Structure formats: structure tokens, C-alpha cells
Chain A
Amino acid sequence: MTKENIDLLLEKLAHGSFAHELVNLLKETERENWPWALDELLKARLKNKVQELENAKNQKP
């Protein structure tokens, strides 16, 4: 991945968006570690979502 291309892509993405977060993660990660880095990010995101839902599970419908 050339830095130039990934930077161009980041410029086109809304800062703070999930897409920006994902691409920025890949920019900061060696190519061979992409799968591991992405898996960790998605697992953490899933864990956070589950925790949010757990915290709200007593809410009345």
C-alpha cells in the first residue's frame, strides 16, 4: 500500500466516520498484520456494542 493512495482515500472520507477509522487503522498497520488488526478492531466494536446493550437491557420497552 502506497502511503499516497491511502492518504488520498483518507482525504475523501469523513473524519470520525467508521470508514475513516478503518482505513486509518490500515494505514498505521503493516500489510501482513491487516487481518489481525481488523479482527481485533471489529471484535472490540462488537464487545462495546454488546456491553451497551447489556447496560440497557433493563430498560422498559
Chain B
Amino acid sequence: MPKIKSLEIKGFRAYGIQAQQIDFEGLLTLVWAPNSQGKTSLAEAIEFLLTGKTVRREMIASAKREFAEALRNAHLPQTEEVYVAAHIEDETGCVHYVKRRLVRDYTGRDPCLSELEVDGKPADNLKAIGIHLSQPPLEAPVLMPHTLRYVISTQPQERTEYFKALLEVSDLEEIRDAIAQAKNRLAEPAYEVSALYESCRSHPTFGNELAFLESIQPTEGVVEEALNKALARVLIEHGDVHDGIDARLAVAKELLNRRRVQTFPIGDLLPTNQPSWGARPEVEPTLSAFLRAKDAVDKEVARLLRLFHEVLSLVEGVESAVDCPVCETPLALTPHRLRAIREKVEASTDYTKHRREANQVLSNLISIAQNAIQEANRACPPAVTWQEQDRARYMPALEELLDDRVKTIVSEWESVLADLKQAKENIKRKATSLKETIASLQIDDLNESIVKHLGQKAKQLFAASSEFDNALEAYKHTTEPLIETLKQEVDRRAGMEGWQDLINLCESRESLLGWLIERFAYQQVRIDIDEAISDIDAAKAEVLDDKFSELGQEILRWWNLLRPGEPTSFYGVERGGSGRRFIDLKARLGHPGTADSQGVLRDAVAIFSDSQLNALGLAAFLARTVREGNGFVVLDDPVPATDREHRAFFINNVLNELIGEGIQVILLTHDEQMRKDVEELYAHVGLDSFTITMGNPIQGSFIKKNRDTLDSKLKLADQYLSSQDAESLKNAARTLRDAAERFCKLMLVQERRKNGERSALVTDYDGKTLGQLRPMVEPLLTNNTSHPGKLRVIVQRLNPGSHDHEVPPIGDLKQCLGDLKALRKEYLP
């Protein structure tokens, strides 16, 4: 399992411009600091190194804004780098240099950015060196007071998420959620006919006949049957009901139209046709091309006259001949010869093609003009041609039907009708004018002026067509609500409301069947998904049960180390319902003599005291640490200073257990008693002890290694003995006496703990002198018969050292140092 061998912090939170370093030599490191000196910053620095963020911000969502610029030391110059680095030993014993540099601090909204390097190369994570993060929210093996409290004080659903993260089962929810989201993304089939169906479905008379379409596999027969029954429903009050949907549909349409016509000629308001103006020819370009071709012919004829001179001169007997103007041959150019020449020239140029095209354009223009008049007439609703007597007849009917709505709706309609009528007349004028112009022309009369005139006429007609299109569109747009209102009113008065929708639905039954099929399939797939999700939920619950059972046992193990023998104890982890939203932490309420399997079960969060909840949170965190095979764990004030009893259990049992399992523990505390106890009790395991201080916030926190453990005392004495001046020897004697006392106390504690007294502490012997301790320790030095004597000699030689004026000879002191080192190695390995 990976171990942190050293840590270096610069500019991170409480740490200033001078990089601070800690070397971790053993499995247990103690870092003590009073409050607000940089202790939690140290824990968060390790968390930042591992994850690139701080969980405190992630957990307290409402505080994101408050974490703006939270990672960079506020007093650090902007040019200074902020980083956390470490030497980390992987499972193979290879040490890697890991460094994470802060690139951008948190803003009020955005997360921080950082760059991670492993052995000088960019990395996304630390998996390559064997460090695997847990699932959020607590990804790093770093427990801080706020995260410990989070586990207990958070909302039940968030607590559920935490325990799922502990079990690494949050991903099971991802499966379920991904499928549920895919179900929501599955698009419902969209058909225009669906609105028509819904309208018919809600009809009081025949809607129920359509209802069964929603619960049965749709087929042609089913759809036809439903529509047939619906039609029968509406026709039954109007005489005989014909068999078959088509017959009934025809009758329904006939009845509806007849009734509408009787009431009001709605059809007179409806545009009857969408005009088709035909392709617009290129008038001026085509005719101009013809003119250019014709001009070219004339020039060519003039040129060729010379060439044909010799030929012409050979021809005799031409009537009405003329002299050749070029060669002055009298009467050489006869009409016949000239025609022959022209025919040859015309045949050799594009003239013929252009003439044909010009003719075609003129012909097309005549057709277009005639067509425009017809199309405009056909497109207009009959109301355009209403005469005075028609208006006198229909307008009062319209007013009566529309009641108080008539003023706005009808006036708008009359306005657009007038516009449409004017547009139609305009087309007629332009088309007639164009036709007349073309009819008066011969193609050989064309010249540039005429061509331009024709082009303008054609453009005027095309513009009039476009204006008519606009007027027709405006008419449709404005008239649509009028017609709908009229239809509804007419149908309502006739007791035929909804008939039109049903008729339309019947005529769209192929589309209706297509939509019903797709909708039925869509619903079936959604049902399939729901069933699958239900199956997954059930399977997930089984997986959770299995995992909770395992986790519960692991938490219970740590609970029993923290709070042995209490009648009220942790019982286990159970899911509430499906376990999707709630997970219950169960406590067992027992009494002295109650078997472990007995007692009343209650919700632990409800009945546990603060102290017990703290222990539960810690036990849960440690259970995960072990479960996930973390090589190290950072514990920041894991036990409240006021909780003396459980602090002792934590120090004696939990730390011992963690170290026993080979897990590196970095323990941070502001509790002086905890520091003292841990230093005394774990001195023999190579405890590293540090103190953090912050005299000046601008300079930041400083980390200093403590030197009052047994090993450090022996090392210090060794240093004093390297110098032979009187003061150094006096210090050496005093340091060796302290070391001998420490050795004796550690021996006594070790013995008591061997005998099951796990709460034994070095501080139990505060106030005892070396002389008082020696007789108790001598019987414990059984590995060699000379050892009790060695201790006796040490005590005899060092005791005078307490009197400053009597310093033992240097040789004696060196002998004491050597013997103490040997005894420490022999009995406190």
C-alpha cells in the first residue's frame, strides 16, 4: 500500500512563501497545533494534492461563493507559485515525486484548476502509483471535522449518498438514472392527425367510441370499426344509418354541407384555388439576343455580297436587277440572288435559333397573360363576385351568426376581400395590355425600344401576380378565424359540432393508423423500460443488502474499538425502502447482560448522543479506509477534546489497530492531552511528532519537528556527549536521566497493555522519579540476566545528575547511553 514519505507545502491556505516540509519516517505521525495555526490547512493540502480540490466546498454547496480565492494564501505575492508536493512510496518500494500546482483558484462560481505532475511528467491522477480515489463526496482518505460532521448532520438523502459512496455503489444509481433518462429522451411520435384525434376523442357524442383505440393493438379493422361506430353515433339522429364507413362518411359530409349551405354559404368565403402563374420567361434578354443576331446577319450579308460577286456575275436574265455597289457591275444583284445569299447567311449563323426563341417568348407571354387572368379568377373566393343583392342577403346573416364579434372579424375580412379583388383587377389590366401589345407586333418589327417596352409590360404583369399572391395569403390568414367561427356556429346551431373533425379524421384514417401504431409501440417500449428499471431496482437492493451487511460488520469492528462494552451500540446499515433515497443506520439498545443478537433496534441518528454520532462517523470512515485498501489515512481532530474516555480508546485501540494493519496514520490534533498521550504511548514505534505555529499570518504557518521522544532524547544526549565541555556534559546527564525515566514508563505501559489494560498511559506515571520506577521495571527485564543490573547501574549513575554540581564522568555517561540504547532496542522494538 502506498505511503507518504514527505510533504511540502507552499502558499496553500495558511502556508506562506517559505515552503514547509514534513518527513514521515514511521507509520504514525502526530501533528499538534493550537486552533487556527494551519492544522486543517495541512489536511486540506494533502486532500488537494490527491484530488485537486477541497471537499469542504463540494459538501457545503451553499458556500461555493464563500470559497472564492480560498486556496491561495491571501498574503502571497501573485508571482509566487502555490503547490503541494510529496514523495510517495508505491507498493513496490519505489518512491515517486508528486506535485500539484494551483493554476486558478476557486471563483464564486467556478472550480479551481490545477496541474498534477508525477516524477516531473503531467498526470491526470495518481493511479499509476497505486493511489485510487474513492467515490465522491469524500474521495481522499482525509477525515476532517467538517467531513465527520457532514456524515452525521447532513440530510438523510445526502447521508445515503455518502454511505453509497463508502460502498462504492453510487455507480449502481448511475445505471438506473441513465436508463430512466434514456426513457425520457425517447421521443413520442408526432403526427398532425393526433390533434384531430384528441379533438374527436373528447367529443361528448362519439368520443367514447374512439376510446378503446388507446388500449388495443391498432389494426386497420380496429380503426375502421371505431370510426364507423363514431359515424353511426352522429348519423343515428338523422335517419337511416348506412352500413360501411365510406357510405356513412358520404352521408355525414352531405348532411353537414347541406346544413351549412342552408345557413350560410361558407364556401363563398373560401379561396378555391392556389394560382399557378407558370414559368416566367426572360423577355428582354431573349428578344435582345434576337435583335443582335438579326443585326449580325445584316452585316454578314453586306460582307458576303462582295464574295458572291463573281457568282452573281455569271447569272443572267434576272428581272429588276440592280448594280452591284461594290464592283459596280450593273444590275448584278437580282432579288432572287439576294434571297439566296441571305438564306445562306441566315443558315450559317445563330439567327434561326434566336428568331425561334423570340417567337417562343412572345407566344409564351400571350399564354402567361391569358393564364394569369384565369388563375386570378379561379383563386378568388366566390364572395369577390358578390353583387349588391348577394351582400344584402348574406351580410345580415353573417351579423346574426357572429353576433357581437361581427364588427372586428367582418370588417377585417371585407378589407382583405377588397384588396384581393383589386389585385385580381390589376392582373386583368396588365395581362390585357401585354396581350394587346404583342398582338399588334410582327417579329421583324422588333427593335430595341419595342423590346424594352415589352419587357416592362411583362414585369408589370409578374409584379401584379406577386401582389395577388400576397393579397391571397393575407385573405386566407385573416379569413381563417372567421371561417372557423362561422363553421362552429353553423355546426352548433345545426347540432353538428365536431362532425367536421370526425369527417377529417375518417378521411385521414391511414395516417391515424400510422400514428396509433407508433404511439402503441412507444407506450409498449416505455412499459418495457419501466419494468426493466423495476427489475434493476430490485437487483440493486439485493446488491446493497449484501454490501451493507459487509460494511456493517466492518463499521461495528471499529465501533467496538472506539466504544467497547457500551449497552447502546451500533448495529448495522440497512436500506430504507429500495435504498435509492434512504439508508438507515441502526443502533441496538441493550442493557447489561444482553446478548449481542438481542436488544431493541432504533435509528442511530435519532438516538445516538453527539459523542456516539462522532464515533459512528469515524467508524464508518475507518471502515472505508480498510475496505478500500488505503495505505494511509489523515485524521484531523477525529475525537472531540472533551470526550476524554473515548479519546483514550481511540489512542489505545484505534491507532494501534490501524498501525497493526500497516496503515500509515497522519494524526492532526489541537488537543494537548491527545498529543501527550500519543507521544508517550507510541514513542516506541518511531512516532514522528510535529508542531505547527503561525506567529505572523503574512509569513504563514511553520512546521517544526518535536524532539522529546525517547529516541530523540537518546539522539540529543549523543550530541551533547560529542562535546566535552562541562555544560554539555551536564545537559547530557539530564537528557539521559529523562530518557531513562521515559524508558521505564514505556516499559510499564507496555506490560500493562500486554495484560489487557489497553487504556494504560505513560501519563499514569507522572510525578514518579527514576528511583521509584526502577524497582517496578527490573522484573520486566527478563531477556538477559544482566539487564536488571544494567538498569540499576544507569539509575545509580544518573541520579546524581539531578544535582547540577555533580556531573558523572563522560565515560559513565557514554556507558549509560549505550546500555539505554541496547535496552530500548531489546524491549521496545
Mark out the residues of chain A between 1 and 42 whose CB falls within 8 Å of any chain B CB in the assembled complex: 1-2, 5-6, 8-9, 12-14, 17-19, 22-23, 26, 31, 34-35, 38-39, 42
Chain B residue, CB-CB nearest to A59: B219
- The reply to whether B182 and A35 form a contact with Cβ atoms under 8 Å apart is yes
Query: Which residues of the partner chain B approach A2 to less than 8 Å between Cβ atoms?
Result: 168, 171
- The reply to whether B543 and A60 form a contact with Cβ atoms under 8 Å apart is no
- The reply to whether B518 and A50 form a contact with Cβ atoms under 8 Å apart is yes
Min C-beta distance of B227 to chain A, whole Å: 13
User: How far is B168's CA from A6's CA once the two chains are assembled, in angstroms?
Assistant: 11
Mark out the residues of chain B between 496 and 547 whose CB falls within 8 Å of any chain A CB in the assembled complex: 513, 517-518, 520-522, 524-525, 528-529, 531-533, 535-536, 538-540, 542-543, 546
- The reply to whether A57 and B219 form a contact with Cβ atoms under 8 Å apart is yes
User: How far is B515's CA from A50's CA once the two chains are assembled, in angstroms?
Assistant: 10
Give the contact stretch, choosing among B173-181, B232-240, B679-687. B173-181
Chain A residue, CB-CB nearest to B178: A34
User: How far is B518's CA from A13's CA once the two chains are assembled, in angstroms?
Assistant: 29
Chain B residue, CB-CB nearest to A60: B221
The reply to whether the CB of B183 lies closer than 8 angstroms to some CB of chain A is yes
Query: Which residues of the partner chain A approach B182 to less than 8 Å between Cβ atoms?
Result: 35, 38-39, 42
- The reply to whether B225 and A61 form a contact with Cβ atoms under 8 Å apart is yes
- The reply to whether B178 and A23 form a contact with Cβ atoms under 8 Å apart is no
Min C-beta distance of A45 to chain B, whole Å: 5
The reply to whether the CB of B222 lies closer than 8 angstroms to some CB of chain A is yes
User: How far is B217's CA from A60's CA once the two chains are assembled, in angstroms?
Assistant: 11
- The reply to whether B535 and A13 form a contact with Cβ atoms under 8 Å apart is yes
- The reply to whether A18 and B531 form a contact with Cβ atoms under 8 Å apart is yes
Mark out the residues of chain A between 41 and 57 whose CB falls within 8 Å of any chain B CB in the assembled complex: 42-43, 45-46, 49-50, 52-54, 56-57
Decide: A9 near B218, CB < 8 A? Known: A38-B179, A39-B182, A53-B520. no
Min C-beta distance of A47 to chain B, whole Å: 8
User: How far is B132's CA from A23's CA once the two chains are assembled, in angstroms?
Assistant: 25
Min C-beta distance of A61 to chain B, whole Å: 4
Query: Which residues of the partner chain B approach A35 to less than 8 Å between Cβ atoms?
Result: 178, 181-182, 185
- The reply to whether A59 and B221 form a contact with Cβ atoms under 8 Å apart is yes
The reply to whether the CB of B343 lies closer than 8 angstroms to some CB of chain A is no
Min C-beta distance of A59 to chain B, whole Å: 5
Decide: A17 near B525, CB < 8 A? Known: A1-B171, A56-B217. no
Chain A residue, CB-CB nearest to B183: A42
- Which of B221, B513, B518 has a CB less than 8 Å from the CB of A61? B221
Query: Which residues of the partner chain A approach B124 to less than 8 Å between Cβ atoms?
Result: none
Query: Which residues of the partner chain A approach B546 to less than 8 Å between Cβ atoms?
Result: 8
- The reply to whether B521 and A53 form a contact with Cβ atoms under 8 Å apart is yes
Query: Which residues of the partner chain A approach B219 to less than 8 Å between Cβ atoms?
Result: 56-61
Query: Which residues of the partner chain B approach A53 to less than 8 Å between Cβ atoms?
Result: 217-218, 517, 520-521
- The reply to whether A54 and B221 form a contact with Cβ atoms under 8 Å apart is no
User: How far is B525's CA from A42's CA once the two chains are assembled, in angstroms?
Assistant: 8
- The reply to whether B543 and A5 form a contact with Cβ atoms under 8 Å apart is yes
Query: Which residues of the partner chain A approach B518 to less than 8 Å between Cβ atoms?
Result: 50
- The reply to whether A42 and B529 form a contact with Cβ atoms under 8 Å apart is yes
The reply to whether the CB of B169 lies closer than 8 angstroms to some CB of chain A is yes
* Chain B residues within CB distance 8 Å of chain A: 168-169, 171-172, 174-175, 178-179, 181-183, 185-186, 216-222, 225, 513, 517-518, 520-522, 524-525, 528-529, 531-533, 535-536, 538-540, 542-543, 546
9 residue pairs, one from A and one from B, having the closest CB atoms: A12-B539, A49-B521, A38-B182, A19-B535, A19-B532, A61-B221, A53-B517, A50-B521, A1-B171
Known contacts A12-B542, A49-B521, A61-B216; 19 additional CB pairs below 8 A are A2-B171, A5-B169, A9-B536, A13-B539, A18-B532, A19-B536, A23-B175, A23-B536, A26-B178, A38-B178, A39-B185, A39-B186, A42-B182, A42-B529, A45-B525, A46-B522, A49-B520, A50-B518, A59-B219
List, sorted by A's number, 6 A–B pairs whose CB atoms are closer than 8 Å.
A1-B174, A12-B540, A19-B531, A31-B174, A42-B186, A57-B220
